[in-house]
Amino acid sequence: MLGRRQLREKVMQNIYAYNCLGTSGEERMVEKNMMKSIDQIYDLYIYLLNLIKVQKDIAEHKIDLAKSKNFPTKEDLNPNLKFVNNKVFRILEQNLELSRYSNDNKNLLWDIYDSYPNNIYKSLIESDLYKNYMSSETNSFTEDLEFISSLFVEFIAEYEDLHDYLEGIQITWADDVHIANAMVHTTLKSFRESSSPLISLYKVYKDLDDKKFTEELFRKTIRYQAETKKIIDDKAQNWELDRIATIDLIVLEMALTEFLYFPNIPAKVTINEYIELAKNFSTEKSRVFVNGILDKTLKELKDNDNLPKYGRGLL
């Protein structure tokens, strides 16, 4: 599921998109697209789980082809089945949520002849990871899980060509693939040998409060832009607003909106979250700049007793 930091990241990206449009009437359209793109992270998550699952199908297909050769070798007739018998594949195959959602959305399934799954499989079987796993005499769920987790991290999550392909399917997936990757990795780590087909997969939102937070943060940041820009202008001594990096300005607007209109969020949490956003998406100096503006603003709000009640109590 997405954490609040990732939800803030999505809001930041869409405030940027909204500002680029230059017309106030596009707010509802941008918000709708934002919420849709968040929902589609679940589709990407399912797509990646299926990309793991299809590796077994490819392996079984190649085993069948080898056995049907005119002159099969002893190895062809008696293949090492350790990979196809990996217990994590069984959990994925039997999971009811994964099966039902994939059957209802067949575009999220992979075919054994698709190039990307086959490229992954080819790289995998040539790797030391695969060779060491296949030669190991250990037969445990722990080993199976560690192998599949490594397969995902090394051959799927870090596969740059796949990222380009995903962007071609859904443009927002280019920004969201790291989120979906984290969801897949966490899902794999949650598996146990006794995992039931009924276990739930990860959701995009932890609960309805997180969804409501995302909507309100987007709306209120836009609604109070004039107010927060004035605060930033007052605090950014020797800096004109048009000289502040675009992302820094959006980060500050969002943070100040939380200070003023989200009283249940501790002010220090807000500062930490937006410093991280600035550090990850703007310049090296942004962290210090954003921290300075927010510290000065918070102190003034506190001194003037203008900080919302709950936020004041959670400093």
**What is residue 1's predicted lDDT score, i.e. its pLDDT?**
78
Report whether 217 contacts 257 (CB < 8 A): yes
**What is residue 161's predicted lDDT score, i.e. its pLDDT?**
95
Read off the pLDDT of each residue in 129-156 and give the average, rounded to a whole number. 97
Kind and range of the H or E run holding 223: helix 208-223
**SS3 at position 203:** coil
**What is residue 310's predicted lDDT score, i.e. its pLDDT?**
47
**What is residue 24's predicted lDDT score, i.e. its pLDDT?**
62
**CA angle centred on 152, ends 147 and 153, rounded to 5°:** 100
**SS3 at position 159:** coil
**What is residue 180's predicted lDDT score, i.e. its pLDDT?**
95
Report whether 290 contacts 255 (CB < 8 A): yes
Q: What is the Cα–Cα distance from 28 to 282, expressed in whole angstroms?
A: 26
DSSP symbol at 114: -
Q: What is the Cα–Cα distance from 114 to 97, expressed in whole angstroms?
A: 24
The confidence band for 233, taking pLDDT boundaries of 50, 70 and 90, is confident
DSSP symbol at 154: I
**What is residue 304's predicted lDDT score, i.e. its pLDDT?**
78
Residue 289 is encoded by which pair of tokens? 């700049």
**What is residue 313's predicted lDDT score, i.e. its pLDDT?**
45
| C-alpha distances out from residue 260 to 18, 66, 183, 264, Å | 22, 67, 32, 10
**What is residue 288's predicted lDDT score, i.e. its pLDDT?**
85
104, exposed or middle or buried, with CB in 10 Å at 0-12, 13-18, 19+? exposed
Q: What is the pLDDT of residues 85-123, one digit of tens each?
A: 999 999 999 999 999 999 999 999 999 999 999 999 999
**SS3 at position 244:** coil
- Percent of the chain past pLDDT 70, that is, above it, reads 94
Can you state the angle between helices 27-67 and 4-21, rounded to 10 degrees?
A: 120
**What is residue 239's predicted lDDT score, i.e. its pLDDT?**
62
DSSP symbol at 193: T
Is pLDDT of 277 > 60? yes
Q: What is the Cα–Cα distance from 307 to 265, expressed in whole angstroms?
A: 12
**What is residue 132's predicted lDDT score, i.e. its pLDDT?**
98
DSSP symbol at 238: T
**Rg (the chain; Cα; Å):** 24
**What is residue 315's predicted lDDT score, i.e. its pLDDT?**
41
Read off the pLDDT of each residue in 194-204 and give the average, rounded to a whole number. 93
91, exposed or middle or buried, with CB in 10 Å at 0-12, 13-18, 19+? buried
Is pLDDT of 135 > 50? yes
176 contacts: CB under 8 Å, gap ≥ 6? 37, 40, 41, 44
pTM of the shown model? 0.87
Q: What is the Cα–Cα distance from 308 to 216, expressed in whole angstroms?
A: 17
Q: What is the pLDDT of residues 41-94, one digit of tens each?
A: 999 999 999 999 999 999 999 999 999 999 999 999 999 999 999 999 999 999
178 contacts: CB under 8 Å, gap ≥ 6? none
Mean of the per-residue pLDDT values of the chain: 92
Which fold is adopted by the domain 224-313?
Answer: N-utilizing Substance Protein B Homolog; Chain A (1.10.940)
Q: What is the pLDDT of residues 242-273, one digit of tens each?
A: 567 889 999 999 999 999 999 999 999 999 99
Q: What is the Cα–Cα distance from 267 to 252, expressed in whole angstroms?
A: 13
| C-alpha distances out from residue 201 to 147, 152, 175, 178, 206, Å | 20, 17, 22, 17, 12
**Which ranges in the chain are annotated with CATH 1.10.940.10?**
224-313
**What is residue 314's predicted lDDT score, i.e. its pLDDT?**
43
